[in-house]
Every structure is written in C-alpha cells, then in structure tokens.
Amino acid sequence: MRGALRRAVPGGVSQPCLRAVLDQHGHVIPDRFAVEQVAFLGDDVLDERPGPVRVSLHKTVDDLGHGVVFVFGALFSVHRISLFFTIGPVNSGATLKHRALHRCAGASFLERETMATGSPTVIDMTLPATPGGSFGLAAVLGVPAGPGPWPGVVLVHEAFGLNDVMRRQVERMAAAGYLALMPDLFSEGGARRCLVATFRSLSAGQGRAFVDIESARTALGARDDCTGAVGVLGFCMGGGFALAAATRGFDAASANYGMLPGGTDAELDDALTGACPIVGSYGGRDRSLRGAAGRLDASLTRLAVPHDVVEYPGAGHAFLNDAESGPVALRFALKRFLGAGPDPVAAADAWRRIDAFFAEHLATDAPAASLDS
C-alpha cells in the first residue's frame, strides 16, 4: 500500500533526446515537424519508493500524403528513463509495436512495449430506466480495440456536464483497455436544471445521481465483453461521487479533485469504511479543496484501505482536462480562484498513477461482491 503523500515539481527532457531515440529506430522526423518537449518529475522530489512518471504527447502529421499518428510516451524513475512510442497509419486499426533499448544524453533506456493497438470505438447510448433514476439516461460508451473481455470503468463527469473534454476522457480509458461508460447525470434537463439537485444528491449520499451511477455499473458488469470487474473514476463533482461510491460495490476508485464525504475526520472515516482501493489526485492551487489530499490520505491510512493520494503543488482544479471547459464567462474566475485548467505535467503523472493503480486493483482482481449478496 502506498500511503505516503508525494509532491511533484516538473523538469524537462530535450527534443534532441527524443529525436535521437527515434532516429535509432529508423524513424527520422522531418525538420518541419517539431517534436514537442516532454516534462517529468525531478529525482529530488520522488519518495523512497519512486514509481515511473509517464508523460505522453500526441501529434498527427502527413508525410508524402500518408497520415501517420505518432504517440510518444516517457517513463521516468530515479536512475532511468524509458521511452516508448507507437507509429502506424491513421484509422488503419493496426499498430506496429516497437521496443526501445538505447542510451541518450546519459540516460539508460530500458525495454518497454506499447500497451494497446488500434483505436477504441466511442458511441452514444441510452441506458435502461431504473426506478429512482433518470428517465432515458444518456451515456457515452468507449470500447477498446481488439478482443475482450475487458474490465469496466464508470466515469463520472465534472460539474459542467458530459462535454467534449469528458468524452475524450472516455476515449482515453477505452484506449487504455477498459470498457468505459460515462452516464450523463444531467440527462433530465441539462446542467442548468440538474446541477443543484445533483450536488444535493452528492451531499446527501443518495438520490437520482447515485441510482444513475449504479445503473452504469450494472450495465457494464452485464456485458459479455466485460470481465465483471468494474471501477469508478470521477472528475471535479464526479470525483466526489467516485469517493462516495467507493463503498458501493466497485473494485477500485479514482477520485480527481473531488470533495470529501463528511465534514469532520470522524465522518470521513465513517463514509469510507469498507471502501475499495482508492487513487486520488488533487491540485495544491485549488482553494476549494485545501487540505483535502492530506485528510483523504490520513483517513485511508487509518482504515487500512489500499490507496495512492498525491497533491500537485503547481496544479489547480480540473488539471486533468486537456482543454478549458465550462462557460467562457466563468473561466477567468475559475482560473483566478481555483487555478482551474489543464496542467499537462501533473496530468501525465496522475494518469500514470491511475493506470498503474487500476492495473493492480481492477484489471487483475476478481469482481467485488454484489451489494445484494
């Protein structure tokens, strides 16, 4: 169990280093295509049990009329750097796998294979009506490429609803090898009509939103291409729901800048008693959640719940988003008071931790016992 609260400070890796490894694989990038810089966590801030830090970037180029997608990733730990990448035709469904074993700028490149091939399928759907839940519950489903079965993940969207940024989070989880399903908690009227009621449900720990989340979990678990193991992952408001749902039959939970259940430490402990393993990520610049990471880490330690909680000092709210979201008129205030907005460096490390945590507690674990058993 990783109970230590770690803090991260960004550093950087040069473009020549990336180009050198690509060149050694025989993939020379034309000068007109700049290789974007990749950042990582410095050795001096890693804890006594350092894990790798993944930083990924995606760049689409056209070379001689042939569409190619380059996907770069970097894995960093105290004494080594591993670079892996995938290269293949766009929309071909096929991906060439490469292994890196090279040296560049004094760093030792270790062997690493790409994780998945092809592109996931993302579709809109409507979940069956459930008593107490939304009538005509809209949802977005991401299905990994290749043969299943796969573990499932219910994603819970931010307070601004199931927007394009959230849809890309579904696609990302599907690309990582999970059946990813995000229900629209605002299905019965959009954010303007449903936001207050949904937050009331979150505060009360019951209500329509929880029924909708359970409907999504049930729908995933019942699919023939699902292993039966299902996790929950939430952002912002959804992060609060992920924490609250961690005691409700899920196999693993990821809470990202989500409010904590209960006002006191005793209430927090009571709310998390019996929780599944939890990975949590918070931003130090997020004034709305000051101290939340430390309190969550301490509570899960007291309860002996497997967990990994990290606060990123330079990040704010919504740092896992790949673009700004929400009403344009509110973005300045959100940035000023919550530090809200994308932080690629913190996001890369948070995704690395989420991937590793779910691989340990969800992809390889047996499904949790049913709430009815």
Query: Which of the four pLDDT bands, split at 50, 70 and 90, describes residue 95?
Result: very low
> Which residue is associated with the tokens 């000092």?
313
Q: What is the pLDDT of residues 183-223, one digit of tens each?
A: 999 999 888 889 999 999 999 999 999 999 999 999 999 99
Q: 69 or 210: which carries more pLDDT confidence?
A: 210
Say what the pLDDT of residue 333 is. Answer: 85
| Cβ atoms of residues 251 and 368 within 8 Å | yes
| Cβ atoms of residues 67 and 89 within 8 Å | yes
Vertex 25: Cα angle to 21 and 28 (nearest 5)? 80
**Three-state DSSP class for residue 251:** coil
Pairing of strands 226-235, 179-183: unpaired
Strand partners, 308: 279
Res. 81: pLDDT tops 80: no
Q: What is the pLDDT of residues 135-178, one digit of tens each?
A: 999 999 999 998 889 999 999 999 999 999 999 999 999 999 99
Q: How far apart (Å, rounded) are the C-alpha atoms in residues 229 and 366?
A: 6
Q: How far apart (Å, rounded) are the C-alpha atoms in residues 114 and 207?
A: 42
The widest CA-to-CA distance across the chain, in whole angstroms, is 63
Q: How far apart (Å, rounded) are the C-alpha atoms in residues 251 and 254?
A: 11
Q: What is the pLDDT of residues 292-340, one digit of tens each?
A: 999 999 999 999 999 999 999 999 999 999 998 877 878 888 888 888 8
Res. 42: pLDDT tops 50: no
Say what the pLDDT of residue 169 is. Answer: 98
Predicted TM-score (pTM) of the model is 0.68
Q: 260 or 86: which carries more pLDDT confidence?
A: 260
Per-residue pLDDT averaged across 238-257, rounded?
Answer: 98
Say what the pLDDT of residue 335 is. Answer: 85
Strand partners, 126: 138
Per-residue tokens: 108? 């030792």
Q: How far apart (Å, rounded) are the C-alpha atoms in residues 192 and 232?
A: 25
Q: How far apart (Å, rounded) are the C-alpha atoms in residues 312 and 9?
A: 8
Res. 347: pLDDT tops 70: yes
Q: How far apart (Å, rounded) are the C-alpha atoms in residues 346 and 10?
A: 8
CA atoms within 13 A on the CB side of 217: 26
Say what the pLDDT of residue 256 is. Answer: 99
Residues near 79 by beta carbon (within 8 Å), at least 6 away in sequence: 43, 108
Query: Which of the four pLDDT bands, split at 50, 70 and 90, describes residue 16?
Result: low
| Cβ atoms of residues 38 and 18 within 8 Å | yes
Question: What is the three-state SS of 84-102?
Answer: EEEEEECCCCCCECCECCC
Q: How far apart (Å, rounded) are the C-alpha atoms in residues 208 and 132?
A: 6
Q: What is the pLDDT of residues 103-121, one digit of tens each?
A: 222 222 222 222 344 789 9
Q: How far apart (Å, rounded) are the C-alpha atoms in residues 342 and 322?
A: 6
Q: 55 or 244: which carries more pLDDT confidence?
A: 244
**Three-state DSSP class for residue 350:** helix
Handedness of CA 261, 267, 272, 278 (dihedral sign): positive
Say what the pLDDT of residue 191 is. Answer: 87
Domains of the chain: 15-108 (no CATH), 121-363 (3.40.50.1820)
Say what the pLDDT of residue 329 is. Answer: 79
